[in-house]
Structure 1
């Protein structure tokens, strides 16, 4: 990170505007929901989970084969040994095997709990139960980027459900630590065939301000698709998705020197009522509805 990003008052340099107040209210409600749910289910007080941004597009885009990296203000995963990390290597690559990878991990002092060969992933974890157990064993999965295209059929739905898809690292580099640090301080957008995708932004255990700053870092990282964005929502793994931006409402974003979509729509009287929505009421009503369903 550059010096600006290390500044406590750093704000992403983005021409886009999303209400920080709205994001803050959504985060307060999510923290409250997660805490209440953990208490009702007698979960460990140290229970942690991801907070994500759901990006909804106006129209489908071409599928991107590999996830693209978005730098975060605060790392999702501290590379300090507090996380159980599984590294999946592509043993089809010449010169790469478990012995070589394990030696490299020890040589650089990397906190990797297990080195798993891709060939073993395919043969030893081919049942649904085996894949689910593997997914639950580790906090995080990394993989040689050369193996990434081979993984979707072999990791199963458990990884998708838990949002634990392996993070790509370049193991062809002479030094691995830099790759691992970069991966831990980033999030990854995986754009599929549909009109929405999910991006991790933070963990429940992180301070509220760090979460808010990460939300805006992700917003900055998604600038290339902003003209195609219909809505942005924040959610935890099992919570209702709470809106922070919806096209044609008072949550609209704008670019510097331009009218918001809301301002354009509001010029027509018949559209005014749809724009007069209270952000806080939206969040509270969503949580009340969730409680009634439960």
Structure 2
């Protein structure tokens, strides 16, 4: 449902509490109800204006929440894996229209049967550890799983294993799995309380945020909160949140509400100063000690004479000059040593180059020697074409002489 349904509530203050009295009513002795009412009403009005601007350009709507931002004075020394459950009068999600997934231990079928026997019908999917390690190991499969469901629950016995299996995509989507006790007798009540609550994730920083109300929803069947419902959730959640922060109110610096894209609207801010509950409450001793040191310096300076003061100033100037000269001399020595090292290292690089070329020349010269030997052997074994011609011509000459001699002998014999 769009924020257009909230417009009458913003114009007419019938949905909000009556006009606050002149005396400020305080919620858990710190936050003013009048200030909280003004902040909630202004935030909803700003969100309505932003929605009208984005209607023409934004095709798909997203879930938008009202966040309570808690700023602390000190960093929390502990890091808690399990979030803190905070009950709300009007839940953030409606299980009839929001898909809920449960991460369970193995075997997966055992917990599916347990949900059926307990007549729990608002859990849409159960995924075991083996499925997370196998089917949902690829990044695309995990991304699709996050987008398919609006809320994730998990067995509290496997909370420490989930960060490595799920990755950072759950943190980016702000859908961290909520731990539940699957061994309780009233399992249905345990899961219903988990769905209808908001959660405080304590970090090791100085800023923590908690969902308080649903401002707009991507699902048309789910109705967002009205300003009156958001104010009721805010008033109910603040005492439980402060009780679970280390140090309580003495460690709280400010409380603000905002959306994911708006500025922060103040609800309460601690007073400045070193008094009780002030911003610099623990710094009072340090400030006093600094004042005492300043008074001591003034007393010492007033006891000295003007001539002695001048001498002291001259000595300080001379000491500074001497220190500067020593530093310059040391820097020069270091630069000279660096130059000498570079000069010593440079000739070693030049002599090392020709050593690699020597064995290459030996190999190149050795190759034609073998070819020459083979050619010599081949010449002895087989005569060339020139030799063949010479031999053939010599043999032809011998045959010609023999024929001439034969002719002469025949002639002589005939004459006889």
Match for residue 137 of structure 1 among 145, 148, 153 = 148
1:213 pairs with 2:229 = no
Classify the secondary structure of the residue corresponding to 2:153. Answer: strand
1:105 aligned to 2:121? no
Alpha-carbon deviation of 1:231?
1.5
Over 3 Å counting, the alpha-carbon distance change for 1:103 and 1:237 in structure 2 is: farther
Q: 1:104 to 1:33 in 2, by over 3 A?
A: farther
> Structure with the greater relative contact order (CA < 8 A, sep ≥ 6): 1 or 2?
1
Mapping 1:12-23, distance limit 5 Å: 15-23=28-36
Of residues 92, 113, 121 in structure 1, which corresponds to 2:132? 121
Give the whole-Å Cα distance in 1 for the aligned partners of 2:113 and 2:190. Answer: 17
The correspondence for 1:228, drawn from 243, 246, 251, is 251
Deviation at 1:169, TM superposition (A): 1.2
Q: Taking structure 1 as reference, are residues 245 and 152 closer, same or farther at Cα in structure 2, changes over 3 Å only?
A: farther
Shift of 1:87: 0.9
* 1:188 matched to 2:185: no
Tell which structure's C-alpha radius of gyration is larger.
Answer: 2
1:161 partnered with 2:172 = yes
Alignment partner for residue 50 of structure 1, among 65, 70, 75? 65
Does 234-243 or 50-59 show the bigger shift? Answer: 234-243
Q: Does the residue aligned with 1:172 lie in a helix, a strand or coil? A: coil
Q: 1:209 to 1:106 in 2, by over 3 A?
A: same
Of residues 59, 81, 91, the one that matches 2:74 is: 59
Higher strand share: 1
Any unmatched runs of 5+ in structure 1?
Answer: 1-7, 92-96, 250-257, 265-294
Residues 218-241 of structure 1, C-alpha deviations (whole Å, 9 max, x = no match):
211023332211122212233333
TM-score (norm 2): 0.52
1:133-191 alpha-carbon deviations (Å, 9 max, x no partner)? 32221111111111222222333333223321111211112332101111122211111
Q: Which structure: greater helix fraction?
A: 2
Secondary structure of 1:222's aligned partner: helix
* CA positional deviation for 1:127: 4.5
CA distance in structure 1 between the aligned counterparts of 2:113 and 2:249, rounded to whole angstroms? 44
Q: Which residue of 1 aligns with 2:382?
A: none
| Contact 1:38/1:44, CA 8 A, preserved across alignment | no
Tell me the TM-score normalized by structure 1: 0.71
| Runs of 4 or more consecutive aligned structure 1 residues displaced over 6 Å after TM superposition | none
Corresponding residue to 1:29 among 32, 38, 42: 42
Q: How does 1:240-255 map to 2 (within 5 A)?
A: 240-248=263-271
CA 1:23–1:15: 2 relative to 1, 3 Å = closer
| Partner residue in 2 for 1:173 | 184
Q: Are 1:162 and 1:237, in contact at CA under 8 Å, matched by a contact in 2? A: no
- Aligned partners of 1:162, 1:89: CA distance in 2, in Å? 21
The 3-state SS of whatever aligns with 2:254 is strand
Residue 161 of structure 2 corresponds to: 150
Between the aligned partners of 2:29 and 2:88, the Cα distance in structure 1 is 17
Displacement of 1:20:
2.0
Give 1:202 deviation, angstroms. 1.7
- Figure out how many residues of one structure are paired with residues of the other and give that number: 239
- 2:87 is the alignment partner of 1:71: yes
2:217 equivalent to 1:202? no
Moved more, 188-197 or 129-138: 129-138
Cα deviations across residues 227-256 of structure 1 (Å, max 9, x unaligned)? Answer: 21112221223333332222237xxxxxxx
